[in-house]
Amino acid sequence: MSVRRMAALSVVMAAALGGCGVSTSGAERATAAGGGPGAAGSTYPRSSTTTGSSTTAPGTSNPDVANDPVLKKMQADLESLTQTLDDYWAGKVDGYQPPQAVETYLADGSSTVTCGGRPVTGPNAAFCGSDNTVLVAIDWFYEQNQKIGDTFTYFVLAHEWGHSAQANLGVPDNPNIELQADCFAGAFLQDEIDAGQLTEEPGDEQELNQSIALASNDFGTKEKHGTLAQRATAVEYGRTNRGQACVSQYGPG
């Protein structure tokens, strides 16, 4: 998948998250540790322009890997998607306040990123409600981009921005919170494909399914995230019926 509107790249930051396995809208937080875009511990401030020219592969200082096309695509996607998601939700929610930063960390806990003052670790991506940030284990993210493909980035970020939308809408924590985020992700993806902002490529549907499956099985919070069937259904419901329908279909009940 790719973002067509490359001009939107001027600013931004990155985003992250995919399964959002661990924290839901309200638990974590992050403080950046510096480094270039894509480097573990780096932050992608909304007000600066990222260059992507001084990156190293997540979790490694090997300069040869910096030229890895998968890494380059992932970093470009993180930047461009952040802006695309911000714009999308700004058009859907009055007074929308987007995540203030996307912060990356290493899954082994060696980074200093926190959410709500607590250290963030583990292979995951999350929306930290208390800090209004999106957190991404960049080494895990890179691994999944290699294994599954670039659609992983699109699904995960779309899901995390779904939590951002919930925070803006004042949706309370409830048993449907994760499935609604999936539904919002589906609505975003299909709306933007239809609008020509995102371009689907061969294999994207399979990659999307694999990404959903990973998010369902890879974490210890299955009950909250839902089974694969539930999550796939929620994403498809969003793609078919769009965002407003997600509000009622997957509301607090």
Considering only 15-23, 70-78, 107-115, 241-249, which stretch makes contact with Zn ion by CB under 5 A? 15-23
> Please, which residue, 56 or 160, has the CB nearer to Zn ion?
160
Is residue 136 near Zn ion by the rule CB under 5 A? no
45, β-bridge pairs: 101
Closest residue to Zn ion: CB criterion: 20
CB of 178 to Zn ion, least distance (A): 5
Q: How far is the CB of 130 from Zn ion (least distance, A)?
A: 15
Site for Zn ion in 156-185 (CB under 5 A): 178, 181
Query: Which one, 86 or 178, has the nearer CB to Zn ion?
Result: 178
CB of 21 to Zn ion, least distance (A): 7
**How many residues contact Zn ion, by CB under 5 A?**
3
How would you class 11 by CB atoms within 10 Å of its CB: exposed for 0-12, middle for 13-18, buried for 19 or more? middle
- Beta partners for residue 43, in sequence order: 103
By beta-carbon proximity to Zn ion, the closer residue of 16 and 66 is: 16
Stretch that binds Zn ion, among 14-22, 38-46, 65-73, 201-209 (CB under 5 A): 14-22
Closest distance of CB 22 from Zn ion, Å = 9
Residue 128's DSSP bridge partners are 25, 133
Nearer to Zn ion, 60 or 230 (CB): 230
C-beta of 171 vs 181, nearer to Zn ion: 181
> Does 20 contact Zn ion by CB under 5 A?
yes
14 is a site residue for Zn ion (CB under 5 A): no
In the complex, the residues that contact Zn ion under the rule CB under 5 A are 20, 178, 181
